A and B are shown apart, each in its own frame.
Chain A
């Protein structure tokens, strides 16, 4: 059966002026607030837990469980941060929500604030998204003017304020503790965990950090209940996902499907297949840091958290990159490693030094100046970079390095033997 789109989050995409409050309301926007306010906050947390919703930013942590980690009875405010940094290369789904349906996100924020007893939400958006930040601010202003936000949010004796906080061009700020540092007015250098942000987060207070897509999923869960959400997806990967697909396909873009559909079907049926009638060479399944997959692996892999792990990679942020047969694997790895080298915050030595070191080695191989011993050195460096730093940026560089060499070693060897790139003219 062909893979089909399922429109849960993307239901309003394509409707004229879907960004405006009037159109959002005409299509069901803010209709779940009353129901949410009639529920006890703990009931909402339980419902989200039961729905199986997992974080859509990359790590895939169960959302309701994260909310339940907040300490009870503390005499401190609780903060909600919405992660809209969206800097993982190949990931461009959250911006679609902001561009098409910011009010769905705001509705999700209001409900989440009620569920976790927070009055102040910060949307951390990457600095380059100037227009998207403006769109969010316009939608927030509309919501204030309509009494949906403010001292009495939606008429309830419950204050909700939302502030858009722009980043300024640092990938690492998508990491939740770096994001906190950045809002606090510091360099985006991740903090050691524990303590986890749910206990000690923004301004030393309990803080929940969720991705845009995660929070935008909340109104649907309120409306249809945990079971209604679970009718999409698989047992362990419930619901729908906005997958972004880029690279060598005929129809790159963002497509919403339920989790558990075939990866090959997704590429062929929704993204129009590999472009120019070329053969598939490789797929990066979930953002640039996730291990690369071979066509054989793609053949049997499903788009859900478990299946991709069984195939040696990760669902991550759902940013799929398709590489056709003409791609030089050494050059494409070099491209990614430059990114990680550039974006390392410099705090931890294995990352600061390691990302630059592996980039230089792969650059040399690409230029025809590599040695056979470089390949084992790269694998050794990758092992020494992963799991030895404050955050996972170092591991994010190590994972593609290791998987590229393991799965496409012959291409690296060919570069070294030939003393040049076999793909260059």
Chain B
């Protein structure tokens, strides 16, 4: 883990909230082995906290009865688990071929300029995170980015400006 990563929640223990506990209980009935809840459990944590702390990993390991190292190796293997807090608005810009052919580089350059941060960075006020990602399966409607949970497709510089202007 690199030096910038903040793996702890300042020693505040993590516990699923009521909504996620209910989802967790339902998932328990769907798999013959609790270890299978590793990925879904990490998603629930990220849904709740916005990112995944080491305390939360320890909590999940105990809940699904696997070593914490197995939670840790899964959390670090998959790119979508945030191991540190991300901005309120997380822009994930596709850089892979079909998007590049339709002007993806221009979209990324424009966002970099408008947000004032480079790919991989979060703005100081915690409002924006910019990430360059691999193919998001939106190849016929590129260039595109994912903003939090939503895809924005057929992007142009003007469209990006409109999206930014509308953000609360």
Contact = CB atoms under 8 A, between A and B. Distances in A.
A187 B73 contact: yes
B77 A90 contact: no
B157 interface: no
B139 A130 contact: no
B80 A128 contact: yes
Interface in A235-272: 244-248, 252-254
B168 interface: no
Interface stretch (B5-13, B30-38, B113-121): B30-38
A321 B101 contact: yes
B96 interface: yes
A165 B139 contact: no
A335 B97 contact: yes
B77 A332 contact: no
Contacts of A95: 137
A188 B37 CA distance: 14
B84 interface: no
A338 B104 CA distance: 15
Nearest to B77: A187
A422 B39 CA distance: 46
B64 interface: yes
Contact of B30 (A163, A167, A339): A163
Contacts of A336: 96-97
| Chain B CB within 10 Å, residue with most, of A91, A129, A247, A319 | A247
A327 B97 CA distance: 11
Contacts of A279: none
Given A168-B80, A184-B33, A246-B142, A130 B149 contact: yes
Interface in A297-327: 319, 321, 323, 327
B135 interface: yes
Contacts of B37: 185
A126 B39 CA distance: 12
Contacts of A88: 135
Interface in A114-141: 120, 126-131
Contacts of A126: 137
A62 interface: no
A248 B81 contact: no
Contacts of A245: 140
Contact of A319 (B64, B74, B139, B141): B139
Interface band, chain B: 35 or more
A229 interface: no
A89 B135 contact: yes
B136 interface: yes
A174 to B, nearest CB: 10
A183 interface: yes
A169 interface: yes
A246 B140 contact: yes
B49 interface: no
Contact of A186 (B74, B135, B137, B149): B74
Contacts of B33: 184-185, 203
Contacts of B134: 87, 89, 171, 339, 342-343
Given A87-B135, A168-B43, A244 B78 contact: no
Nearest to B73: A187
B4 to A, nearest CB: 20
A90 B39 contact: no
A167 B136 CA distance: 13
A186 B77 CA distance: 9
B38 A185 contact: yes
Contact of A185 (B70, B80, B92, B102): B70
B36 A185 contact: yes
Interface string A157-197: 00001010111111100000000001111111000000000
Contacts of A412: none
Given A321-B101, A335-B97, A167 B78 contact: yes
A79 to B, nearest CB: 9
Nearest to B31: A163
Contacts of A321: 97-98, 101, 139
Contacts of A186: 35, 38, 70, 73-74
Interface string A340-366: 001101000000000000000000000
Given A319-B139, A327-B101, A339 B96 contact: yes
B137 A335 contact: no
7 residue pairs, one from A and one from B, having the closest CB atoms: A185-B38, A168-B78, A169-B80, A169-B79, A246-B139, A246-B98, A89-B135
Interface of B: 27, 30-33, 35-40, 42-43, 64, 66, 70, 73-74, 77-81, 92, 95-98, 100-102, 133-142, 146, 149-151
Interface of A: 77, 86-92, 95, 120, 126-131, 161, 163, 165-171, 182-188, 203, 244-248, 252-254, 284, 288, 319, 321, 323, 327, 332, 335-336, 338-339, 342-343, 345
Given A90-B98, A246-B98, 4 more contacts: A91-B137, A128-B136, A131-B151, A167-B39
26 contacts: A90-B97, A90-B98, A91-B139, A92-B137, A92-B138, A92-B139, A128-B137, A130-B150, A163-B30, A166-B43, A168-B80, A168-B81, A169-B78, A171-B135, A185-B38, A187-B73, A246-B101, A246-B139, A252-B139, A252-B140, A284-B97, A321-B98, A336-B96, A338-B95, A339-B134, A345-B77
